[in-house]
Structure 1
Amino acid sequence: MTRARLTWNGNAVIRGTHDGAVRGLRLGSEHVLQVSRERVPIEEGTLERSGTATVDEQSLTAAVAYDTPYAVRQHEEMDYRHDAGRTAKFLELPMAEEADTVGEIIAAEMRRALR
Protein backbone atom coordinates (compact mmCIF):
# COMPACT_ATOMS: atom_id res chain seq x y z
CA MET A 1 0.00 0.00 0.00
CA THR A 2 1.33 3.43 -0.98
CA ARG A 3 0.73 6.39 1.24
CA ALA A 4 0.81 10.03 0.30
CA ARG A 5 0.85 13.08 2.43
CA LEU A 6 -0.80 16.28 1.29
CA THR A 7 -0.19 19.63 2.88
CA TRP A 8 -2.79 22.22 1.99
CA ASN A 9 -1.53 25.79 2.14
CA GLY A 10 -4.92 27.38 1.57
CA ASN A 11 -4.13 30.65 3.30
CA ALA A 12 -0.96 31.10 1.24
CA VAL A 13 -2.90 30.35 -1.95
CA ILE A 14 -5.62 32.85 -1.08
CA ARG A 15 -3.04 35.47 -0.14
CA GLY A 16 -1.11 34.82 -3.37
CA THR A 17 -4.16 35.10 -5.60
CA HIS A 18 -5.21 38.30 -3.84
CA ASP A 19 -1.75 39.83 -4.20
CA GLY A 20 -1.62 38.76 -7.86
CA ALA A 21 -5.05 40.26 -8.48
CA VAL A 22 -3.97 43.55 -6.91
CA ARG A 23 -0.82 43.68 -9.07
CA GLY A 24 -2.87 42.78 -12.15
CA LEU A 25 -5.44 45.46 -11.43
CA ARG A 26 -2.69 48.02 -10.90
CA LEU A 27 -0.96 47.12 -14.19
CA GLY A 28 -4.26 46.85 -16.05
CA SER A 29 -5.51 50.23 -14.89
CA GLU A 30 -2.16 51.81 -15.75
CA HIS A 31 -2.47 50.26 -19.22
CA VAL A 32 -5.93 51.79 -19.74
CA LEU A 33 -4.64 55.14 -18.46
CA GLN A 34 -1.77 55.08 -20.95
CA VAL A 35 -4.04 54.24 -23.88
CA SER A 36 -6.54 56.92 -22.88
CA ARG A 37 -3.78 59.53 -22.52
CA GLU A 38 -3.01 59.01 -26.20
CA ARG A 39 -6.60 60.09 -27.02
CA VAL A 40 -7.38 62.74 -24.43
CA PRO A 41 -8.03 66.20 -25.94
CA ILE A 42 -4.94 68.28 -25.54
CA GLU A 43 -4.51 72.02 -25.52
CA GLU A 44 -2.00 72.65 -22.75
CA GLY A 45 -1.75 69.11 -21.37
CA THR A 46 -3.51 69.83 -18.08
CA LEU A 47 -6.28 67.29 -18.69
CA GLU A 48 -3.80 64.63 -19.79
CA ARG A 49 -1.61 65.17 -16.71
CA SER A 50 -4.62 64.94 -14.39
CA GLY A 51 -5.18 61.27 -15.25
CA THR A 52 -4.73 58.77 -12.43
CA ALA A 53 -5.12 55.03 -11.93
CA THR A 54 -5.95 53.70 -8.46
CA VAL A 55 -6.66 50.30 -6.93
CA ASP A 56 -8.73 49.49 -3.86
CA GLU A 57 -7.00 46.39 -2.52
CA GLN A 58 -9.85 45.44 -0.20
CA SER A 59 -12.62 45.40 -2.79
CA LEU A 60 -10.31 44.45 -5.68
CA THR A 61 -11.52 47.29 -7.86
CA ALA A 62 -9.58 49.70 -10.00
CA ALA A 63 -10.43 53.17 -11.26
CA VAL A 64 -9.03 55.41 -13.96
CA ALA A 65 -10.03 59.06 -13.72
CA TYR A 66 -9.24 62.53 -14.99
CA ASP A 67 -9.53 65.36 -12.50
CA THR A 68 -10.13 68.76 -14.03
CA PRO A 69 -13.27 70.88 -13.84
CA TYR A 70 -13.88 70.24 -17.55
CA ALA A 71 -12.92 66.55 -17.81
CA VAL A 72 -16.49 65.23 -17.89
CA ARG A 73 -17.60 67.83 -20.43
CA GLN A 74 -14.64 67.06 -22.70
CA HIS A 75 -15.38 63.36 -22.39
CA GLU A 76 -19.08 63.60 -23.16
CA GLU A 77 -19.32 66.43 -25.70
CA MET A 78 -19.27 64.68 -29.08
CA ASP A 79 -19.46 67.95 -31.07
CA TYR A 80 -16.19 69.44 -29.82
CA ARG A 81 -13.36 69.57 -32.34
CA HIS A 82 -10.11 67.91 -31.37
CA ASP A 83 -6.64 67.50 -32.84
CA ALA A 84 -6.00 64.38 -34.93
CA GLY A 85 -6.11 61.25 -32.80
CA ARG A 86 -7.73 63.10 -29.90
CA THR A 87 -11.39 62.51 -29.19
CA ALA A 88 -14.35 62.64 -26.84
CA LYS A 89 -14.94 59.36 -25.01
CA PHE A 90 -11.17 59.27 -24.46
CA LEU A 91 -11.64 57.01 -21.44
CA GLU A 92 -14.78 55.05 -22.24
CA LEU A 93 -13.51 53.74 -25.58
CA PRO A 94 -10.10 52.52 -24.33
CA MET A 95 -11.77 50.82 -21.36
CA ALA A 96 -14.00 48.82 -23.69
CA GLU A 97 -11.34 48.19 -26.31
CA GLU A 98 -8.68 47.09 -23.82
CA ALA A 99 -10.92 44.91 -21.62
CA ASP A 100 -9.50 41.65 -22.98
CA THR A 101 -5.93 42.88 -22.56
CA VAL A 102 -6.63 43.96 -18.99
CA GLY A 103 -8.14 40.55 -18.27
CA GLU A 104 -5.01 38.89 -19.64
CA ILE A 105 -2.79 41.14 -17.51
CA ILE A 106 -4.72 40.26 -14.35
CA ALA A 107 -4.72 36.53 -15.17
CA ALA A 108 -0.96 36.57 -15.85
CA GLU A 109 -0.24 38.26 -12.51
CA MET A 110 -2.46 35.78 -10.66
CA ARG A 111 -0.70 32.84 -12.34
CA ARG A 112 2.67 34.39 -11.49
CA ALA A 113 1.61 34.73 -7.83
CA LEU A 114 0.75 31.03 -7.64
CA ARG A 115 4.13 29.74 -8.84
Structure 2
Amino acid sequence: MDREASDGYRLAWDDDRILAAIRGASMEGLELAAEHLLQASSVLVPLEEGDLERSGEVSTDADDQAAAVSYDRPYAVRQHEELTWRHDAGRQAKYLEQPMTEERDTMLQLLAGPPRDLLGG
Protein backbone atom coordinates (compact mmCIF):
# COMPACT_ATOMS: atom_id res chain seq x y z
CA MET A 1 0.00 0.00 0.00
CA ASP A 2 1.43 3.40 -0.98
CA ARG A 3 0.37 6.67 0.57
CA GLU A 4 1.56 10.15 -0.15
CA ALA A 5 1.68 12.63 2.70
CA SER A 6 0.85 16.31 2.34
CA ASP A 7 4.52 17.29 2.60
CA GLY A 8 5.46 15.16 -0.41
CA TYR A 9 7.07 12.03 1.08
CA ARG A 10 5.79 8.63 0.05
CA LEU A 11 5.19 5.67 2.40
CA ALA A 12 5.21 2.14 1.01
CA TRP A 13 3.66 -0.38 3.41
CA ASP A 14 4.25 -4.07 2.74
CA ASP A 15 2.29 -6.04 5.36
CA ASP A 16 3.75 -9.42 4.46
CA ARG A 17 7.35 -8.20 4.54
CA ILE A 18 6.87 -6.36 7.83
CA LEU A 19 5.15 -9.30 9.52
CA ALA A 20 7.83 -11.71 8.29
CA ALA A 21 10.58 -9.43 9.62
CA ILE A 22 8.91 -9.11 13.02
CA ARG A 23 8.28 -12.85 13.20
CA GLY A 24 11.89 -13.62 12.29
CA ALA A 25 13.23 -11.13 14.80
CA SER A 26 11.02 -12.47 17.59
CA MET A 27 12.05 -16.07 16.85
CA GLU A 28 15.71 -15.04 16.91
CA GLY A 29 15.21 -13.40 20.30
CA LEU A 30 13.32 -16.43 21.59
CA GLU A 31 16.18 -18.72 20.56
CA LEU A 32 18.73 -16.44 22.23
CA ALA A 33 16.71 -16.40 25.45
CA ALA A 34 16.40 -20.20 25.42
CA GLU A 35 20.14 -20.61 24.76
CA HIS A 36 20.82 -18.29 27.69
CA LEU A 37 18.60 -20.41 29.95
CA LEU A 38 20.38 -23.58 28.79
CA GLN A 39 23.74 -22.04 29.60
CA ALA A 40 22.60 -20.79 33.02
CA SER A 41 20.99 -24.12 33.92
CA SER A 42 23.89 -26.29 32.73
CA VAL A 43 26.14 -25.01 35.51
CA LEU A 44 23.54 -26.07 38.12
CA VAL A 45 22.61 -29.51 36.71
CA PRO A 46 23.51 -32.33 39.11
CA LEU A 47 26.78 -33.79 37.94
CA GLU A 48 28.12 -37.27 38.36
CA GLU A 49 29.44 -38.30 34.97
CA GLY A 50 28.12 -35.34 32.95
CA ASP A 51 25.47 -37.23 30.97
CA LEU A 52 22.62 -35.07 32.23
CA GLU A 53 24.47 -31.84 31.50
CA ARG A 54 25.45 -33.00 28.00
CA SER A 55 21.85 -33.95 27.22
CA GLY A 56 20.65 -30.34 27.55
CA GLU A 57 19.29 -28.80 24.38
CA VAL A 58 17.15 -26.04 22.96
CA SER A 59 14.27 -26.98 20.66
CA THR A 60 12.35 -24.43 18.62
CA ASP A 61 9.17 -24.38 16.60
CA ALA A 62 8.93 -21.36 14.31
CA ASP A 63 5.32 -22.13 13.35
CA ASP A 64 4.20 -21.93 16.99
CA GLN A 65 6.78 -19.26 17.93
CA ALA A 66 7.96 -21.51 20.76
CA ALA A 67 11.22 -22.64 22.31
CA ALA A 68 11.97 -25.22 24.98
CA VAL A 69 14.99 -26.11 27.08
CA SER A 70 15.16 -29.77 28.01
CA TYR A 71 17.39 -32.44 29.47
CA ASP A 72 16.56 -35.87 28.07
CA ARG A 73 17.90 -38.42 30.50
CA PRO A 74 15.29 -40.69 32.17
CA TYR A 75 16.19 -39.28 35.57
CA ALA A 76 16.17 -35.58 34.56
CA VAL A 77 12.74 -34.76 36.00
CA ARG A 78 13.42 -36.56 39.26
CA GLN A 79 16.79 -34.79 39.63
CA HIS A 80 15.02 -31.48 39.04
CA GLU A 81 12.22 -32.08 41.53
CA GLU A 82 13.84 -34.07 44.35
CA LEU A 83 14.85 -31.49 46.95
CA THR A 84 16.21 -34.00 49.47
CA TRP A 85 18.98 -35.41 47.27
CA ARG A 86 22.53 -34.23 47.88
CA HIS A 87 24.56 -32.80 45.03
CA ASP A 88 28.13 -31.69 44.45
CA ALA A 89 28.95 -28.11 45.44
CA GLY A 90 27.23 -25.64 43.11
CA ARG A 91 24.91 -28.30 41.68
CA GLN A 92 21.26 -28.59 42.70
CA ALA A 93 17.67 -29.58 42.12
CA LYS A 94 15.50 -26.95 40.37
CA TYR A 95 18.34 -26.44 37.89
CA LEU A 96 15.89 -25.08 35.29
CA GLU A 97 13.36 -23.37 37.52
CA GLN A 98 15.85 -21.26 39.47
CA PRO A 99 17.66 -19.74 36.45
CA MET A 100 14.32 -19.21 34.70
CA THR A 101 13.37 -16.95 37.61
CA GLU A 102 16.77 -15.37 38.24
CA GLU A 103 17.57 -14.73 34.56
CA ARG A 104 14.10 -13.43 33.70
CA ASP A 105 15.18 -9.84 32.97
CA THR A 106 18.11 -10.93 30.82
CA MET A 107 15.91 -13.32 28.84
CA LEU A 108 13.30 -10.58 28.32
CA GLN A 109 16.03 -8.30 26.96
CA LEU A 110 17.18 -11.05 24.61
CA LEU A 111 13.59 -11.58 23.48
CA ALA A 112 13.24 -7.89 22.72
CA GLY A 113 16.50 -7.91 20.81
CA PRO A 114 18.74 -4.99 19.98
CA PRO A 115 17.26 -1.98 18.20
CA ARG A 116 17.89 -2.51 14.52
CA ASP A 117 16.45 -2.10 11.07
CA LEU A 118 14.25 -5.19 10.80
CA LEU A 119 13.64 -4.70 7.10
CA GLY A 120 17.28 -4.34 6.14
CA GLY A 121 17.07 -0.85 4.76
85, 106, 109: which one pairs with 1:104?
A: 109
Q: Which residue of 71, 79, 83 maps to 2:76?
A: 71
Aligned length: 114
Larger radius of gyration: 2
- Return the structure number with greater strand share: 2
Aligned residue number for residue 12 of structure 2: 7
1:112 counterpart letter in structure 2 = R
Residue 54 (structure 1) shift: 1.1
CA deviations 1:32-91 (Å, max 9, x no partner) are 000000000000000000101111101111100000010011000000001111000001
Which of structure 1's runs of 4+ aligned residues deviate more than 6 A? Answer: none
Distance 1:31 1:14 in 2: 26
Kept after mapping to 2: 8 A contact 1:19/1:113: no
**TM-score (normalised: structure 1):** 0.91
**Runs of 5+ unmatched residues, structure 1:** none
Q: Provide the alpha-carbon RMSD of the alignment.
A: 1.5
Once the two structures are superposed, the pairs formed by residues 1-115 of structure 1 within 5 Å of their partners are 2-108=7-113, 111-112=115-116, 114=118
TM-score by length of 2: 0.87
